[in-house]
Structure formats: structure tokens, C-alpha cells
């Protein structure tokens, strides 16, 4: 029998939380970062690389997978785990954000969203029930409700309308979700940057009851300062005994500042996207590998990292790969960035356990005050 889905809060250091989540496909230590495997792959990485980095959960996406190859095909091949050949926990985004940000044409109603694919223009309709059904076909360990995400800036009325519609959809998602041991359904708080809307959204979600709660509608262009203002109050609207997930965030400084406010889970395309463009996150800050000063450098990109790029290759070689548009350059730097992110999460967890989270917070923030740090 599969293990029950369970969140255990082990320790706190001020608001920073150290915990663990048990799922049908394994345990996740929190705070946790989820590499983004949008289309059934974490771009430029093999499953072995993901596991070796210390990643314990990855993210898939309804919108992209329903367009290609299709949920029926994936279900026939054993769900997303069987399709990818990956046996760890998987969380799937419901598609709400992608419909807002990627779809060419969309018509939204209380029933759902009609949209045209950004790939070929073909028409689709995604409802709360359909999103949940697709995630069931994918066999997601953690299913996200279907919500309406508004862009920034949004007026109060726009944010309120989207929040109320999202709450109606949350009820429908809860009814459509098939309960199984080890599987979970997360609600998503909306409300843009308005305190009363965030509070009302949280209260409505708590009345419905979910296995975890996400903060949606952030990292959509409002900037770090505004995002942190929202987190200062919004996280406290969520229960202590459930995991809290900040969707689509972010840079190392975003993550550790959100942990300081009580967030447990994160995902973002930044580490792999940056790797594909020649940017590396290191213990010394952000390094742009294309910079001419790295030509012929025999130094390692980060002496504190155990990824393949750092163990076996010089910065000069990595620069050559990137500037030559060789695929290996994107692979090595993407792997490095995921290793860096997971080491950061491990350091965060340890610092909370040892009661020195504030010291690590200041260290990380100082590392990322400026970009393009020298490798010494």
C-alpha cells in the first residue's frame, strides 16, 4: 500500500521552517526546490543528473503536455513517471498560468478557458474538471487546482474577479480529484497585491480544505520588493501544518528571502534557462561565462560544487562550448545550476536545524548583490 501523503514540520528558526513531505513516490525534504520539467524533461538534463543533484521532486505541466504528446498517450505509457522513466515525486502545474501567458487567443468564462495553442493555433478548452482529469492521467503525486492568474499590474476589480472565479474552480477541483494514498491536491491563493483579497482567498481555500497551499499570482512582473511585501502577510494566512508553495520563484535571493517568511516549496525555470544562455550561479555569485576574461581560464567554475562541470572541466573549456553553441555547454551549465540550487536548499535546511538561518541569509544575499563576479 502506498504511503499516506503527510507533511511534518520538524523545526523552525523564526519563520523559516524545516520539514518533510511524504508522497506515493518518496519523501521530499523541505524547504525544497523543484526543477521544472515542463514537457516531461528538465531541459538539457538526464534523470540521473537530476537525482545526483539532490533533487527529490520535479515539476510537469498540464498545458504543455496536453498539447503534446497528449495525456492519453502518457497515461497509456504508465503516467508521467513511466513516460519519463523517473520514479520520484512529481508535481504538476494545472495550466492556468500558461493559458494566461502563452496561449495566443483565450476566452475565459466561469466554465473554464477556451484558447488557441501557441504551437499551431489549434483550439482547446480547459476546465477545472479537465485539468484535474489530465493530472490524474499523468499520475501526479501533487495535483494543483485550476486557477485564473492575472498579470501585473491588475486593478482591484480584475484581481477580485479572478480570485472569486478561482475559488469557485477550487471547489470543482476538489470534487473532481480522486483521492488515493500518497497523492495530494493543493489549493492556490490568488488576490494579486491586495491584502483583503489574499486573506479572503486563503479563508475560502481553508473552508474547502486542501493537502497543501500555494501562493499564486506572484513572480508575474511585480518585482522582488513588491513580492516580498505580499509574502510578509500572505504566508501567515496559511496553516502551519500544511506545506506552503510559492509558484514560479525564483532567483537564489528570492528563495531564501521567501524561506525567511515561512515558504516551504519552490520551482523556477531560471537555473536551466540561465544554463542554456551561459549564466552560472555559484558560491561567489552569478557568472556570465561568455565574458572574455574567462577565455583560456584553467579555474573551476565553483570549488564548492560537485557537478560534472566543476569536477572535470575548466571555465575556459565551458566558455568555448557556450560560445561555439555546443549542446554540451548548455548541458553542463544547466546541471551545474541545478546542483547549486540543491546545495543552497540543503544549506538552508541545515541552517534552520542549527538555528543559524539568519547568518546564511546574509551570506547568500551578499553573494548576489552584484552579477558577473570574478572567479578567484
> Which residues lie closer than 8 Å to 128 by C-beta, 6 or more apart?
112, 145, 146, 169, 170, 172, 173, 176
| From 49, 93, 141, 147, active-site residue | 93
DSSP H helices in the chain: 47-52, 62-67, 71-76, 79-84, 96-101, 128-138, 156-176, 195-208, 224-234, 252-259, 270-276, 308-312, 315-323, 327-353, 357-367
> Which residues lie closer than 8 Å to 65 by C-beta, 6 or more apart?
39, 40, 71, 74, 80, 92, 134, 138
Rounded to whole angstroms, the Cα distance separating 187 from 211 reads 8
DSSP structural state of residue 3: P
Q: What angle do CA 216, 222, 225 make, to 5 degrees?
A: 105
Q: Is 76 a catalytic residue?
A: no
CA distances to 79, 147, 304 from 87, rounded to whole Å, are 11, 28, 28
Taking each helix axis from N to C end, the angle separating 252-259 and 224-234, rounded to the nearest 10 degrees, works out to: 20
Q: What share of the chain is helix, strand, coil (3-state, %, to 5)?
A: 45, 20, 35
Rounded to whole angstroms, the Cα distance separating 93 from 245 reads 12
| From 49, 211, 264, 267, active-site residue | 267
Q: Is 267 a catalytic residue?
A: yes
- Grid cell, residue 61, equals 505541466
Residues serving a catalytic function are 93, 267
Amino acid at each position: 500500500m502506498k504511503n499516506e501523503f503527510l507533511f511534518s514540520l520538524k523545526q523552525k528558526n523564526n519563520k523559516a521552517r524545516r520539514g518533510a513531505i511524504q508522497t506515493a513516490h518518496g519523501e521530499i525534504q523541505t524547504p525544497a526546490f523543484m526543477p521544472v520539467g515542463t514537457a516531461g524533461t528538465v531541459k538539457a538534463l538526464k534523470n540521473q543528473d537530476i537525482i545526483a543533484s539532490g533533487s527529490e521532486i520535479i515539476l510537469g505541466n498540464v498545458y504543455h503536455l496536453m498539447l503534446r504528446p497528449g495525456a492519453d498517450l502518457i497515461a497509456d505509457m504508465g503516467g508521467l513517471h513511466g513516460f519519463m522513466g523517473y520514479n520520484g515525486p512529481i508535481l504538476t502545474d494545472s495550466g492556468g498560468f500558461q493559458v494566461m501567458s502563452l496561449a495566443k487567443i483565450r476566452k475565459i468564462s466561469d466554465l473554464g478557458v477556451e484558447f488557441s495553442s501557441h504551437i499551431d493555433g489549434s483550439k482547446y478548452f480547459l476546465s477545472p474538471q479537465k485539468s484535474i482529469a489530465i493530472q490524474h492521467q499523468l499520475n501526479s503525486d501533487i495535483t494543483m487546482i485550476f486557477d485564473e492568474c492575472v498579470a501585473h499590474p491588475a486593478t482591484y476589480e480584475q484581481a477580485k474577479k479572478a480570485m472569486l472565479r478561482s475559488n469557485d474552480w477550487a471547489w470543482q477541483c476538489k470534487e473532481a480529484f480522486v483521492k488515493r494514498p500518497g497523492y495530494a491536491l493543493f489549493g492556490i491563493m490568488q488576490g494579486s497585491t491586495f491584502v483583503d483579497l489574499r486573506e479572503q482567498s486563503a479563508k475560502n481555500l481553508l473552508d474547502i480544505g486542501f493537502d497543501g497551499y500555494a501562493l499564486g499570482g506572484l513572480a508575474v512582473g511585480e518585482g522582488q520588493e513588491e513580492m516580498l511585501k505580499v509574502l510578509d502577510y500572505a504566508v501567515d494566512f496559511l496553516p502551519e501544518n500544511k506545506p506552503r508553495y510559492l509558484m514560479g520563484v525564483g532567483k537564489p535571493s528570492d528563495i531564501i528571502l521567501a524561506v525567511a517568511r515561512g515558504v516551504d516549496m519552490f520551482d523556477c525555470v531560471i537555473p536551466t534557462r540561465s544554463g542554456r544562455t551561459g549564466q552560472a550561479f555559484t558560491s561567489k555569485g552569478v557568472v556570465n561565462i561568455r565574458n572574455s576574461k574567462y577565455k583560456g581560464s584553467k579555474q573551476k567554475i565553483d570549488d564548492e560544487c560537485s557537478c560534472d562541470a566543476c569536477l572535470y572541466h575548466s571555465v575556459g573549456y565551458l566558455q568555448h562550448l557556450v560560445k561555439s553553441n555546443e549542446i554540451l555547454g548548455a548541458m553542463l551549465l544547466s546541471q551545474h545550476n541545478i546542483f547549486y540550487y540543491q546545495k543552497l536548499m540543503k544549506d538552508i535546511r541545515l541552517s534552520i536545524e542549527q538555528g543559524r538561518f539568519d547568518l546564511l541569509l546574509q551570506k547568500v544575499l551578499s553573494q548576489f548583490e552584484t552579477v558577473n563576479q570574478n572567479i578567484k
